[in-house]
Structure 1
């Protein structure tokens, strides 16, 4: 199959790109002229099995040109940040970008399926229960502009499905693992802060809960959705549900280091977030922790992936297995020491 992949230069997209090539598919990656392509293999390395189409998901014409002759579109491109000085970018990339991809699919006769990478944030907080694909976001409040944009995009995707477009929607949790250290790999970033001493305590008191998805499992879930996912269906590609306190404790056990000895109240983390945002506006460097980060941590995001297990043979590893892989990798790069 000829596959168009968006987001190939990102954390998840780069892994997906490599897996598709390893499976023998012909892949065309839509990349921006300004993108860092260092993580991508040169086109000549795969004998014509890959090529680069320069453009942007926000530019409908370039998406349409890139889709020409493709049988599947894997739309993994997204703006994944807890905070941006210009929140309108979330809509232009995450919502309008999806609309452009869907329009390209409608106009490209060769396209047989679209796999759209959403997020469990599009389904909303679960607060006290473990939810599945039937959950609908309450829309009473949003912790971040990213969450709001992913819900808006989810509405667009589900409307397209109701109109007969062959789209499969997948919803990863907090993706982690070896790979690019982008905002999409926030767990790696927090572990670096933890082991460097810049994050000396737990954030909060462990009442948060997230569904952690190892990047390689999510990649295989995407490929399974491409082959076996039913158009119009939604699949949670989540994993073990745990708090960040549990993650830090597990990391301490694996590395033989001490656990944090105190808790940092979320109100204090929020104050730090506001200060970080202030300096971000001056320096232009996006903060790791911002007020929306704290708002997210005030809630639980616990999800079941049973549907994907049954229909896609999705087999997520547990958190300990994933951390036992990621921590030595961070250590080998000199990003943490233990």
Structure 2
């Protein structure tokens, strides 16, 4: 099958190219630089070509999609900083609208949107286990540009779908695993812990998935995903306290001594001397932004039953993911 992939140079994009080629698909790798990711030995490099295009250029996208039966739209920009809100909106919302229009113009029949679990699976309830049918957390994500615009982009894609262009969304949780960029947003929390430790953990809980498994989930959605449906791709739900305790066993750092009380992150920002250069300083451990503390004070737990049942997708042991992530970062350790 001919597949066009935007965001092919990113962390998930590179792994998705490998997974698509391994499944026998021909892939057009679309990014601003037009580069082609390195393929593992034994995979047919002739199945891959690189094309330079910007998601804000509809004509360039349509040309790059020429001949594709399926478009996988994975381009994105990760930031929850208010100063980046316009760029995040343009890349996610306008970029998705442009990719949809270009896919339609190029004659593609299927559009797989790479979204995020944060469009449906986040809240303040530590007991909640979110699914694809959970209410949209619009009020919660409204203050986070990345998740807010991802939600808008997902809604725009489903609204624009019709009989000529079927839309499927995949919603991975936090991506971990090997080969992230040296300053990649996905493995930022692990890099920070390796470097600075975490004497007190945030009060919330996270969900993460191996990037290699998420890539396989995208490939499954290309051929097996039901039009008009989204699929959560998750591999593990943990409190941040337990997450950092597990990381501590894999690297030379002490585990956190306790978890920060819920709501405490809002109070400490008002304490004189606690904030420097827009980030909170605790004297030991990493300096973190108020925004980072806000995100990590929520719970992101979700089920992957639907992907397992409908896509035949199963995540690997999360211990393998954490071990491979830490090993990869320690081996490269650019900081």
- Aligned partners of 1:250 and 1:5: how far apart in 2? 34
Q: In the alignment, does 2:37 pair up with 1:73? A: no
Match for 1:253 among 231, 249, 255? 249
Match of 2:17 in 1: 17
Q: Deviation string for 1:273-321 (max 9, x for gaps)?
A: 964448xxxxxxxx99433222212211111110001011111124322
> Is the 8 Å Cα contact of residues 117 and 232 (structure 2) preserved in structure 1?
yes
Q: CA deviation at 1:23?
A: 2.7
* TM-superposition CA deviations, 1:39-97 (whole Å, max 9, x none): 546xxx95542222211011111111111111111111111123252310111100100
Q: How far apart in 2 are the matches of 1:27 and 1:213?
A: 24
SS at match of 1:28: strand
What SS class does the counterpart of residue 140 from structure 1 fall into? Answer: helix
Q: 1:170 to 1:130 in 2, by over 3 A?
A: same
Q: Structure 1 residues 288 and 78, CA, compared in 2 at 3 Å: closer, same or farther? A: farther
Q: Where does residue 284 of structure 1 map in the other structure? A: none
3-state secondary structure, aligned to 2:139: coil
Alignment CA distance shift 1:298-1:289 (3 Å): same
* Equivalent residue for 1:51, pick from 44, 49, 52: 49
Name the counterpart of 1:305.
304
Aligned CA RMSD, in angstroms, stands at 3.0
Mean Cα displacement is larger for which, 125-134 or 47-56? 47-56
Please say if residues 57 and 100 of structure 1, whose CA atoms lie closer than 8 Å, have aligned partners that are also in contact.
yes
Q: 1:54 to 1:84 in 2, by over 3 A?
A: farther
CA distance 1:63–1:121, shift in 2 (3 Å): same
- Cα gap change, 1:302 to 1:318, in 2 (>3 Å): same
Contact 2:6 2:74 in 1 (8 A): yes
Whose helix fraction is larger, Structure 1's or Structure 2's? 1
2:217 pairs, out of 216, 221, 239, with 221
User: 1:156 corresponds to which residue?
Assistant: 156
Give 1:184 shift: 5.7
Q: 2 CA distance for matches of 1:67 and 1:270?
A: 48
SS in 2 for 1:85: helix
Aligned to 1:89: 87
TM-score (norm 2): 0.85
Output the TM-score relative to the length of structure 1. 0.84
**Is the 1:2–1:70 Cα contact (8 Å) retained in structure 2?**
yes
Distance 1:158 1:242 in 2: 31
Partner of 1:234: 230
Structure 1 residue 116, shift from structure 2 partner: 0.6
Measure, in 1, the Cα distance between the counterparts of 2:178 and 2:274: 26
1:296 paired to 2:292: no
Return the alpha-carbon distance in structure 2 between the equivalents of residues 273 and 228 of structure 1: 51
Deviates more, 1:113-122 or 1:251-260: 251-260
1:95-174 pair list within 5 angstroms: 95-109=93-107, 111-126=108-123, 127=125, 128-141=127-140, 142-161=142-161, 165-174=165-174
Query: What does residue 329 of structure 1 align with?
Result: 328
Q: Partners of 1:273 and 1:9 in 2: how far apart?
A: 38
How far apart, in 2, do the equivalents of 1:139 and 1:164 lie?
29
| SS of residue matched to 1:321 | helix
In the other structure, the counterpart of 1:175 is 175
Count residues in correspondence.
320
